[in-house]
Structure 1
Amino acid sequence: MLDIILLLVLLFFTSFLSAAESALSSLKQIHLKSDSKEKEKTRESELLKFWLENPNELLTTLLFIKTISYSSMIFTGIYLIKKIYKENLYIGISFFTLIILVLLFSEMIPRLIARNNIYGVSKTLIIPLNTLRIVLRPLIRLFIYISRLIVGIFKIKVKDQMFEITEDEILTFLKAGTESGVFEEGEEEMITSIFEFSETTVKEILTPRRDVFALEAESKIDDVWNEILDQGFTRIPIYTETIDKIVGTVHMKDLLRYDKQTGENPPIKDFMKEAYFVPITKPLVELLEEFKLKQLHMAIVIDEYGGTQGIVTIEDLLEEIVGEIRDEFDQEEENIQQIREKIFDIKGDTPIEEINDKLEIEIPLSEEYDTISGYIQDKLGKVADVFDQVKGDNFVLKVTDVDNKRVERVRAVIIEQEKEE
């Protein structure tokens, strides 16, 4: 009878350990912050914080006690079975039954309960588990020291912070939440954009120099006034000789101070302010912080030789997070327009990834180019002319418009591949 009671106690104890291991292994800082009672700083919450910051001792305690408990339970079970049954057949059946009971009540059921209430189970079991840790501390620390010594021989770096939530985990939770209806698709896109924002550089979002509207410093206001109004930009780069020598910027509100009635026609440089320059490799996170601190809205992007690569504005940065922001001067023109079935008209500066996604084709990506124009020039190995063609596995790209050696428009024809039988 005593043997049966001991076996049941060990079964219950291993269930407790499995539940604790499962819950604590899944516990994150977010579980603590989501609990409204966390502000009270209870004993349980303090211990859970300790667990997240220093998991090694508690985890080793769990593994140590669990190993001893399982070993004791198996030995007790075998002893009890042999004591009751003498025939090998009954011993085998009883031992198999014991294994099933251990799997169900010591592993599967406790872990299932713990996974469905991670914080509640962790909070309930942390105090008794911590008590065991304190009692066994000398032995546990010895095991930790030995394990680190062995791991050190193989030069494996050990992290103490075992349960930090990672970016990939957040994005996985976010995707699952969107699929289950917890988040709207737009919310998922915005949060994903925030993570991508931290890894993006100015090079990926700048307005290239060929598309930059800039004015020569000696230009007279009357001579360029209509052009300024037509372009509709509030900030304009100013250069001397060539656009590689940008010397400042002009704000539209400063130009409005100009009074034609005076009869003067000053050069635009008289209204110029100092330009802000950034390298093409600057991360967007750093640039946004600089814009905020310096109260700037535009920067001139330069390469390693000091040449102008383009411009970047605070609007460009915000669009990386919230999507495209249109104002009254922006033209509603899609990058890709369908002409008829499997035939598309594409703007030359359309990103390759956008084309691949929308047309479901696989134009190769490369660091040498970002747009369909760059891809065509790269494949041709020369400056593209109208009617030039580039063929892929299931598409043909035909240049339909070129302006100043730049591909403006491309006709894409999608070719259906024959299915292999």
Structure 2
Amino acid sequence: MDIVNLLWVAALILLTAFFVATEFAIVKVRSSRIDQLIEEGSSRAVSLKKIDDNLDAYINVCQIGITVTALGLGWLGKSSIERAFHHFFENIDSASLASFLSFIIAFFIVLFFRVVIGELVPKAIATNKAEPIALFVAKPLLLVRFILYPITFILNITAKLIVRLFGLKSIQENDAHSEEELRLILSESYKNGEINKAEMMYVNNIFEFDERVAREIMVPRTEMVCFFKEDSYETNINVIRDGQYTRYPVADGDKDHIIGLINIKELFTGHITSEKESIEPHIRPILHVSESTPIKQALLRMQKERIHMAIVVDEYGGTAGLITVEDILEEIVGEIRDEFDANETPMIEEQEDGSILVDGKVLLYEINEYFDFDLDENEVDTIAGWIINHTVEPSVGSTVGHEGYRFIVEEIDGYQVKKIRIIRPEESKVNTEDDAEE
């Protein structure tokens, strides 16, 4: 009889291991991975999807299984093992002492095997092999839940009511990841080689994309190349020779009055077919957006109205700059260069002497990320704006210091700061020592 009971004890420990491994596996496996396996034709994944869609209920099934097996072990294990060891203490005069020693040995043996075989080992295996174990146990777990449904139904309802009394959410309701959590997951996936650097960059750029506004990515008014309605056909054609763009905004009088845009393909096609030397028949509508318009909204409008350019309007109704579809897409995929961009230099470029040459249009958040700074982004958007805020009338050679770094104005066009050279603290120290020696 004791052998039969010991076999029952072993079976209960294995059942404990099954429920523990099942619980950890179904919690750890990703919903997106289950969907992928279903698309690949896995029948087990279909069963696992049913579990994932009602995760609370199946976790409760596992908990009931673990509790029942624990009670069974306490009932059968202690008495069976205690009787097996009792004859070792028959020579002890005190019967109560013999029973106590047998009980202690039985208790620790059952505890050891339950914790090690029933808890720790299956937990470690399920954590490392969550997907195959979840697929393996999916159908048996569905069957167990069907058998225990009346009990689990009552327990689930009771548990949910108590949880809601404390103002908490169930596991299923609290399953979504925040943006920061997704960034951490991406970072870990990159470190483990699951995704490459480009993929991580694209996804991170999409998170940033959602926060960018038109003012931050626009070509400023001072750099806009326009056609003017009142200019001759030849004058506007000469603009193309210098600009080498596909589309040009058309101004009526000045840049504060942009009335449309022209695609040079239409312009030249019209000239070839009709030999008309006028830009007016080829002027198409252009979008106007405010400086604070999110670029995702601007892109949606461009897609809907099939217009690839928008004028950015400031708070006074004047032209602040322009944005194109290319400018918006570059926020996700990085710089897009064509055959006419051969002479363009990177916005942030490391120099041979160790300094960094930065374009004045680089956004402050990019400078903060690149150098791990905390420059205030509330008042201005670009590094050029930050320089102007710290020097009333910047000129070539003007210097601003921050955390040991030196920001030196390298190039100016009128009142616009075009290039800034950033010198690291160690480079600044070397240059200072060289000047002292001279």
TM-score by length of 2: 0.80
In structure 1, distance between residues paired with 2:224 and 2:50: 55
- Residue in 1 that maps onto 2:50: 50
Q: Which residue of 2 aligns with 1:401?
A: 411
State the AA in 2 paired with 1:26: K
What amino acid is the match of 1:5?
L
**Larger helix proportion of the pair:** 2
Residue 200 to residue 346, structure 1, CA distance change in 2 (3 Å): closer
Of 7-16 and 349-358, more deviation after overlay is shown by 349-358
Q: Which moved more, 1:108-117 or 1:192-201?
A: 192-201
Contact 2:17 2:119 in 1 (8 A): yes
Greater shift after overlay, 139-148 or 188-197?
188-197
Seen in structure 2, the aligned counterparts of structure 1 residues 217 and 396 have a Cα distance that, compared at 3 Å, is same
| Inter-partner Cα distance in structure 2 for 1:226 and 1:37 | 57
Residue 220 of structure 2 is aligned to residue 208 of structure 1:
yes
Cα distance change of structure 1 residues 57 and 354 upon mapping to structure 2, 3 Å threshold: closer
Instruction: Tell me if 1:294 matches 2:294.
Output: no
Partner of 1:25: 27
Deviation at 1:252, TM superposition (A): 1.1
Alignment of 1:181-260 (within 5 A): 181-257=193-269, 259=271
CA–CA separation in structure 1 for the residues paired with 2:234 and 2:143: 84
1:35 aligned counterpart, secondary structure: helix
Indicate if the aligned counterparts of 1:395 and 1:413 stay in contact, CA closer than 8 A. Answer: yes
Distance 1:294 1:258, change over 3 A: closer
State the AA in 2 paired with 1:414.
R
| Aligned length, in residue pairs | 413
> 1 CA distance for matches of 2:40 and 2:345?
52
- State the 1:141 CA deviation: 2.3
Tell me if structure 2 keeps the 8 A contact 1:401–1:409.
yes
| Residue pair 2:226, 2:250 contacting (<8 A) in 1 also | yes
CA contact (8 A) 2:368 2:375 kept: no
Could you say which residue in structure 2 is the equivalent of 1:8?
10
| Identity within the alignment, % | 26
* Alpha-carbon distance in 1 for matches of 2:369, 2:334: 17
- Whether the 8 Å contact between 2:6 and 2:81 is mirrored in structure 1 is no
In the alignment, the residues of structure 2 paired with residue 163 and residue 351 of structure 1 have an alpha-carbon distance, to the nearest angstrom, of 35
> Which protein shows a greater Rg?
2
Aligned-CA RMSD value: 3.5
Contact 2:230 2:253 in 1 (8 A): no
Q: Measure the CA separation in 2 of the matches of 1:299 and 1:364.
A: 30
Secondary structure, in 3 states, of the residue corresponding to 1:39?
coil
Q: Distance in 1 between matches of 2:69 and 2:328?
A: 58
Distance 2:11 2:282 in 1: 86
Letter in 2 for 1:29: S
Q: 44-53 or 161-170, which moves further after superposition?
A: 161-170
Q: Deviations over 1:124-158 (max 9, x none)?
A: 32233222322332332222222222233233344
- Whichever residue aligns with residue 416 of structure 2, its letter is R
- Give 1:6 deviation, angstroms: 2.6
Alpha-carbon separation, structure 2, partners of 1:62 and 1:167: 31
Paired residue type of 2:321: G
Shift of 1:11: 0.3
Secondary structure at the aligned position of 1:244 is classed as: strand
For 2:403, the aligned partner's letter is D
Shift of 1:373: 0.9
Deviation at residue 286 of structure 1 after TM alignment:
4.3
Relative distance call for 1:63 and 1:379 in structure 2 (3 A) is farther
- Residues 385-419 of structure 1, C-alpha deviations (whole Å, 9 max, x = no match): 4443322121122334333322223233322399x
| Structure 1 residue 364 displacement after superposition | 1.4
> 1:309 is matched with which residue?
320
- Structure 2 stretches of 5 or more lacking a match? 87-97, 430-438
Give the 3 Å change call, closer, same or farther, for CA 390–188 of structure 1 in structure 2: same
How far is 1:12 from its partner?
A: 0.8
